[in-house]
Amino acid sequence: MKTLPLSLLLALAPFAQSAEANPAAKPAERVTVTAKTKAKVANPVMLPITDVAGLPRVLLIGDSISIGYTLPVRKLLEGKANVHRIPTNGGPTKNGTANLTKWLGDGKWDVIHFNFGLHDLRHMDDGSRQVEPADYERNLRSLVADLKKTGAKLIFATTTPVPEGKLTPPRTFGDVATYNEIALKVMKENGVAIDDLNTAVAPEIAKLQNPHDVHYNAAGYEVLAQAVVKALLKELGK
C-alpha cells in the first residue's frame, strides 16, 4: 500500500480535525486518493477561517512569502485576533489592482497588512521587469487609495531580500532596494505604517533563506512571523 506524502497529509488534516470535533457526524466514505483528487486538495493556508466573536479582524495580503508566515502569525495571535489572508498568491501590483475589491470582500477590517514587490521586479523573457518601477509606484498609489477607503489601519511590509546569483524565475539582487525605496516614499506620503521585513531577516539571511531561492526555511518564516505580529499588535493597540 502506498504511503501518502507528508504534504498531502498536512493538507487533509483540517478535514480530519473537523470530523473529530463532531463525533456525531456520519462516518465519511472511504476516499481513494488519485492524481486528480490530490490536485483538488486545498492548501490549508488558503482555507477560510471562522471568526471568534469580539476579536479584531486582520487581513494579510501578499505573495508566497506571506503564505509562508500566515500559519505562524495565526498561531502567535490566537485568542488576540482573527487573522485572515487572501486565498491566493497576491503576485505583482497589477494583480492587486485587478483583484483588491474581491479580496477585501464585504466585511470590516481592523488592520490590513500588505506587500507587493517581489513579483513586480521579476524579469520577463524579453528582459523587462514584470512591473517597471514607474508602474510599480503608480499601482501602489492606487492600492493605498483603495485600502484607505476601508477605514482599516494599514501596514506595508517591505520586500524581503533577493539573493545574488542565478534564480528561477530571474530577479536582480539590487532591484529590491529600488522597489523598497519607491514603496517607502509612497507609504510615508500616505501615513501608512511600515513593517520592515527586509531588515528583520537581512542580518542572518544565509541561515534563514533557502539556498539560491527567495523563500525561507522554517526558522526564517518564524522570524518573519514574529516581525509581522509585532507590527500588527502595535496597530491593534492604538
Domains of the chain: 1-41 (no CATH), 43-236 (3.40.50.1110)
pLDDT at 25 over 70: no
Sign of CA dihedral 170, 138, 227, 13: negative
Q: What is the pLDDT of residue 166?
A: 62
Confidence at 22, pLDDT banded by 50, 70, 90: very low
Q: For 2-11, 19-28, 131-140, which range has the lowest pLDDT when averaged over its residues?
A: 19-28
pLDDT at 210 over 60: yes
Please, which contacts does 7-12 make with residues 24 or more away whose CB atoms are closer than 8 Å?
Answer: 8/33, 8/38, 8/41, 10/44, 11/41, 11/42, 11/43, 11/44, 12/41
Mean predicted confidence (pLDDT) in 19-38: 40
pLDDT at 34 over 60: no
Q: What is the pLDDT of residue 238?
A: 84
The owner of cell 516581525 is 227
Q: What is the pLDDT of residue 52?
A: 97
Give per-residue burial for 45-64: e unless 16+ CB within 10 Å, then b: beeeeeeeeebbbbbbbbbe
Q: What is the pLDDT of residue 188?
A: 98
pLDDT at 12 over 50: no
**HSE of 47, CA atoms in CB hemisphere, 13 A:** 16
Most confident of 3-7, 27-31, 82-86: 82-86
pTM reported for the whole predicted model:
0.80
Percent pLDDT > 70 in the chain is 78
pLDDT digits (tens, 9 = 90+) for 136-182: 999 999 999 999 999 999 999 999 998 775 655 555 655 899 999 99
Higher pLDDT, 33 or 73: 73
